[in-house]
Structure 1
Amino acid sequence: MKNILLITIFISLIFSCKNDQNNNGNLNVVTTTTLITDLVTQIGGDKLNIQGLMGTGVDPHLYKASEGDVSKLVSADLIFYGGLHLEGKLVEVFEKMQSQNLQTIAVSDALDPKTLIGSEYFASNYDPHIWFDVHNWELITAFVVEKLSEADPGNTAVFEENGKNYLEQLGALDAEIRATIETLPKEKRILVTAHDAFNYFGKAYGFEVVGLQGLSTATEAGVQDVQNLASFIIKKNIKAIFVESSVPRRTIEALQAAVNSKNHHVEIGGTLFSDALGTRGTPEGTYIGMFKHNVNTIVKALQ
């Protein structure tokens, strides 16, 4: 009910306030997740006024629009969001904006649906965690460059140059993480996490991925889920399981306790960043730094 009220408020405000916004002449761009905020920042640099809705450790599956978000959305020339029902509670907001011909862009539109992983947990019927295949992020980078250039033709050269540089960094990232993964024996490439956020990672980099919860953290893991996964860990002799920064630690601790109760020891191998980046200003606060951290943490713990 609260979200519906917010939708009504900001749609009415857009037409009364939009033309009164004072800025430095740059496009006002609103982004949802920290991953998208980082990407748009890499491409737009100081040519955009960028405001991200979600901060460090925020779970986009459960995020609800606040009153503070309304003013950001009202002033936006462009809004970039994940799509594929990643931002579950914000979907109705974006749908309403689209019906008013306001510029909202789902970065998932950059990808061919044939390359997406199916999911019964989302209304889109696809797994939205598309950023865990670097190739997908490369396609999305080119897509964002295109959309920014359409909205601000005067800065096309800047966007294209920044995009080119970032694509080179992504290519180097992909090569580095593949080399790191090659140091881990194939039989040890089994990744157990709090929820199924890493299926694109598993498909791209050769890991079997198992999540305690479903693809969305809105689904709760039951006792039987915990027991079944504990048995799987023991059968596969998995050395470590992983916490996620945007999911409560207790879910993995419960799994560890279940394994240990069956006279088999499993370590918590560390914290992985799944739906949100790390603290701004740290290496993990960027997509590239986050990916390196995750791969290094996984490989070290499973060796």
Structure 2
Amino acid sequence: MKKQVAILLILLTTFCCENETKTNGKLNVVTTTTMITDLVKNIGGNIVNVEGLMGSGVDPHLYKASEGDVSKLVNADIIFYNGLHLEGKLVEVFEKMGNQAKTPIALADELDKKGLIGSDYFASNYDPHVWFNINYFKQFAEKVTSVLSKKNPENTLAFEQNKDKYIAKLDALQAKVKSVIDVLPKEKRILVTAHDAFNYFGESHNFEVVGLQGLSTATEAGVLDVQKLASFIIEKQIKAIFVESSVPKRTIEALQAAVKSKGHNVEIGGTLYSDALGNTGTIEGTYIGMYEYNVNTIVNALK
């Protein structure tokens, strides 16, 4: 990995100071996660070219930049990423780029750290899965709009209008998911998933959230972790546990088997989208569609 990073940094240093370019007169914007890609497309509309490094089902915790990514980063006018060490293996690349003419934008830097959930798994000491708090995602939208407007001031009005429309959709999403979740009794609001990506979701909607692998998929769940969580599921009479699209399902299947070995049964309630959206062109391929899909899946399995 160090050798790969070294090669990338040499290439970035070689090309980073080239003049900024536009394709078809539009800003070139590079994003990391699929959530951020979808957000920037909504704000930028047809005024910008947006290219995401990560696709559906890609785990940002484990993502390694390829040499093919270098040309995208070099030719970008703006780079947006989540931050808080979500994209752990890209951090060194971004930090080095920050010393050059082009500085990647960590959207989570806009958030008040007092409201973030602490974590010992990340160098930032915070849980980076902040997009599951819709209010935080609105702050991401504000920052994206500000950066695009400064870079392309002649289109500020269009960016602002796109942002207002999108935040109105996020307001509607909040109202909709609240009405769905309200049918689920509080004692049934226990969400067990492959890893702790849903703590901000839990905080927003009064769920107790338990992840088998902890906050980062880079950590492995041990036998004792599985057995301990299996006992918790039986004690709380939890009806369903959930797979995540960006995490191998074997960990949750092992948990289900452990519960069964103790003479009880727990269903796999479905697949949730955590660190990545669904396929492009599907409802789950958008942030709003993903959030609504997750809520419906969780509530239907637990109620």
TM over 0.5, shorter chain = yes
Shift of 1:156: 0.4
**1:19 alignment partner, SS class:** coil
Would you say the 8 A contact 1:134–1:170 is kept in 2? yes
Determine if the alignment matches structure 1 residue 87 to structure 2 residue 112: no
- The equivalent of 1:140 in structure 2 is 140
Q: Please name the residue that 1:153 is paired with.
A: 153
1:21 Cα offset (Å) = 4.4
Residue by residue over 1:191-227, the C-alpha shift from the partner in whole angstroms, topping out at 9 and shown as x without a partner, is 0000000000000110000000011100000000000
Distance 2:6 2:200 in 1: 33
- Equivalence for 2:268: 268
What RMSD in Å do the two structures reach over aligned CA positions?
Answer: 0.9
Which residue of 2 is the match for residue 187 of structure 1?
187
Residue 300 of structure 1: aligned partner: 300
Aligned residue in 2 for 1:226: 226
What's 2:40 paired with? 40
Name the amino acid aligned to 2:14: S
* Amino acid in structure 2 at the alignment position of 1:145: T
- Report the counterpart of residue 8 of structure 2 in structure 1: 6
Unmatched segments (≥5 aa) in structure 1: none
Q: Deviations over 1:113-146 (max 9, x none)?
A: 1111000000000000000011111111111111
Cα distance in 2 for partners of 1:142, 1:276 equals 21
- Within 5 A, what are the aligned runs for 1:97-176? 97-176=97-176
State TM-score, norm by structure 2: 0.98
Give 2:241's aligned residue: 241
1:265 counterpart letter in structure 2: N
Q: C-alpha distance in 1, partners of 2:143/2:264?
A: 47
Distance across 1 between alignment mates of 2:22 and 2:134: 37
TM-score, normalised relative to structure 1: 0.98
Distance 2:75 2:38 in 1: 20
Residue 200 (structure 2) aligns with:
200
How many pairs does the alignment contain?
301
Return 5+ residue gaps in structure 2 as ranges.
Answer: none
Distance 1:70 1:106 in 2: 18
TM-fit CA distance, 1:13 = 2.0
Contact 2:195-2:217 within 8 A present in 1 as well = yes
Q: Percent identity?
A: 66
